[in-house]
Chain A
């Protein structure tokens, strides 16, 4: 079965600082999803990556998938308190969006003033 390991497990950054979260898969990734969750709430979709070397950006968040499709990173530029939450990477089973997702271990982000 596929396993996703995220690092770091938790992160505290000062507002305005940049940060990177990594997601490493035990198998080749077909589709890699990034979600944000506030504790006790649902998931907010951030981005999906499929192709090796792909990079997508939305506002101050950039996600990349490496050429070998086994590692992804999420980079936040000039962090704000609104970025605080739990970031989860998820991988589908290869059947696209209709497939169940395996989630990473999660990264808890706190942004201090």
Chain B
């Protein structure tokens, strides 16, 4: 079946550094991918829609200069948290729709970011 991977699964960094998270569709192409953020004991909140070949679409309240998204190819989207601060610590999950005829989106296993 379709699989979406994320790397890294966990990352700890110091305040002020930038962290890149990769989301890959392993056996299908995805022109669109979605990035979600989840705080402890909370639901998933959509951050942005990653579009291959064009700019990402950000949800209201999400800083596009803070969370840089690049959809480099039909199988790879990256989320870069720039100048990370402790309040950016969270669980980040990506998803990708496998295309028509499928009844679900596929979610990555998530990346836990801890900013010290």
A→B interface (CB under 8 Å): 33, 35, 40-43, 45, 48, 88, 90, 96-106, 108
Task: Name the distance in Å between A35's Cβ and chain B's nearest Cβ.
Answer: 8
B residues in contact with A88, CB < 8 Å: 43-44
Task: Name the distance in Å between A39's Cβ and chain B's nearest Cβ.
Answer: 8
B residues in contact with A108, CB < 8 Å: 41
B105 at the binding interface (Cβ < 8 Å):
yes
Stretch at the interface among B11-19, B68-76, B79-87, B95-103: B95-103
The A/B interface has a contact count, at CB < 8 Å, of: 58
12 contacts between A and B (CB under 8 A): A42-B109, A45-B106, A48-B104, A88-B44, A97-B103, A98-B99, A100-B34, A101-B46, A101-B105, A103-B36, A103-B43, A106-B43
B25 at the binding interface (Cβ < 8 Å):
no
Task: Name the distance in Å between B14's Cβ and chain A's nearest Cβ.
Answer: 22
B residues in contact with A43, CB < 8 Å: 44, 93, 95, 107
Q: Let me know if A42 and B110 touch, CB within 8 A.
A: yes
B residues in contact with A98, CB < 8 Å: 32, 97, 99
Task: Name the distance in Å between B35's Cβ and chain A's nearest Cβ.
Answer: 10
Report, nearest first, the 3 A-B pairs whose CB atoms are least far apart. Answer: A42-B109, A43-B107, A45-B104
Tell me the chain B residues, 23-70 only, with Cβ under 8 Å from chain A: 32, 34, 36, 41-46, 49
Q: Let me know if B49 and A100 touch, CB within 8 A.
A: yes
- The verdict on A104 contacting B43 (CB below 8 Å), with A33-B104, A42-B93 known, is yes
Q: Let me know if A40 and B43 touch, CB within 8 A.
A: no
Of all chain A residues, the one with the shortest Cβ separation from B105 is A97
CA distance A105 to B105 in the complex (A): 19
Q: Let me know if B93 and A102 touch, CB within 8 A.
A: no
Q: Which of A48, A102, A106 contacts B46 (CB 8 A)?
A: A102
